[in-house]
Amino acid sequence: MKSILKSSGGMTLVEVLIALLMTGILTAAMFRVYVNQHHAWMIQDRVIEMQQNARAAADELARQLRMAGYELPNNLPPIVAFDTNPDTIYIHYQSAGCSAPIDKTMPQPSSELDCTGPTADVSCFYVGQEAYIFDPNLEAGEFFPISHVQVTPGKIQHNTQKLSKCYPKGSIILALDRIKYYVDQSDTLHPKLMVQLGSFDPQVYAEDIVDLQFDYVMKNGDTVDVPGIAKDVRAIGITVQSRTPQKDVEFTATPYRYETYQSRVYLRNMGT
């Protein structure tokens, strides 16, 4: 008996086109979901970075401000404030506990500092350090960079900077911290919070910081932008504003996302 072969049915051209269309729609939908998720992740990552920058900057400022005025000689202000919008501030305090008295009056403002007395010890000073020399008779002094230290017999040179006067015997050399904070806006796309230690080159502390503001609560309760007498400051308000490093296409009026972080520091070394 002759066998009869049945033809196996295939897909028509219309069915293939419909399948391709459905596959394309499904692929486009999946790709759209991926793009949206990736965009959301990128925004969230930028927001987190922005928040961390603002918080880190405010926390660093608060930590340094709490030290302002610690173990300072008379007439050296604990802070120096500038209402420069963004604001600038200098913070002064002593952290190293390093000091040495001068045993001989300087013959010239450029002369080395002789600390050969029995109570003097210059081993805690180092080349490149910014030190402060203080005349207790006049209750005045100045900062200067140390160019050379001779532990034995106990002498300090300052060849890179001539002092303003001949300091007398009994003047004291101190290792003080002088820290400057300000916003560098030279790169308008990425402004930075800068920190400068003494006479060293400024360093970037936080990226994309667009504003830095301080307000000062005085001992009489007034709040001012710049204190008349620094030692009368009892608390300092800090406002740091950061922004995302890249523009957000969803924002038209202001192309960046912003974060503002505020805190208030009560100064423990500035009286009661």
- Note whether 187 and 70 are same-domain residues: yes
- Average pLDDT per 10 consecutive residues for the chain, totaling 272 residues: 56 75 79 66 67 87 94 92 96 90 94 90 92 94 94 90 93 94 93 92 93 96 94 95 82 80 91 62
CA angle 176, 107, 146 (to 5 degrees): 30
57 touches 240 (CB < 8 A): yes
Q: Which of 152, 179, 204 is nearest to 78 (CA)?
A: 179
36: helix, strand or coil: helix
Query: Phi and psi of 156, rounded to 5°?
Result: -125, 130
Q: Are residues 194 and 82 in the same domain?
A: yes
Predicted pLDDT of residue 247: 80
Domain count, the chain: 2
Q: Are residues 105 and 54 in the same domain?
A: no
Going by the DSSP 8-state scheme, the letter that residue 124 receives in this structure is T
pLDDT at 52: 82
Question: Are the beta carbons of 228 and 197 closer than 8 angstroms?
Answer: no
Is 13 inside a domain boundary? Answer: no
* Together in a domain, 82 and 210: yes
Rounded Cα distance between 111 and 14, Å, is: 99
Asked if residue 165 belongs to a domain, the reply is yes
What order of strands is seen across the sheet that includes strand 113-114? 113-114, 155-157, 148-150
Residues 77 and 119 in one domain: no
The residue type at 254: T
8-state DSSP, 270: S
Residue 8 within a domain: no
pLDDT at 109: 94
| pLDDT tens-digit readout, 2-22 | 555 555 556 777 777 777 778
126 within a domain of the structure (yes/no): yes
pLDDT at 200: 86
For residues 130 and 148, what is the distance between their CA atoms, to the nearest angstrom? Answer: 12
Whole-angstrom distance, CA of residue 88 vs CA of residue 95? 22
Q: Which domain holds residue 217?
A: 42-88+181-266
* 213: its two tokens: 């503001």
- Choose one of 175, 192, 214: the last residue of a domain: 175
Q: Note the pLDDT of residue 60.
A: 92
**Residue 247 shares a structural domain with residue 118:** no
- Report the pLDDT value the prediction gives residue 62, as an integer from 0 to 100: 94
Q: Are residues 167 and 101 in the same domain?
A: yes
What's the CA gap between 227 and 225, in Å, rounded? 7
Closest among 219, 212, 236 to 83, alpha carbons compared: 212
Closest CA to 131 of 174, 90, 101, 76: 174
Residue 198 three-state SS? coil
Same domain, residue pair 187 and 210: yes
- Which amino acid is present at 8? S
Give the pLDDT score at 160. Answer: 80
**Which of 175, 196, 217 is at the close of a domain?**
175
How many CA atoms, within 13 angstroms, populate the side-chain half-sphere of residue 254? 6
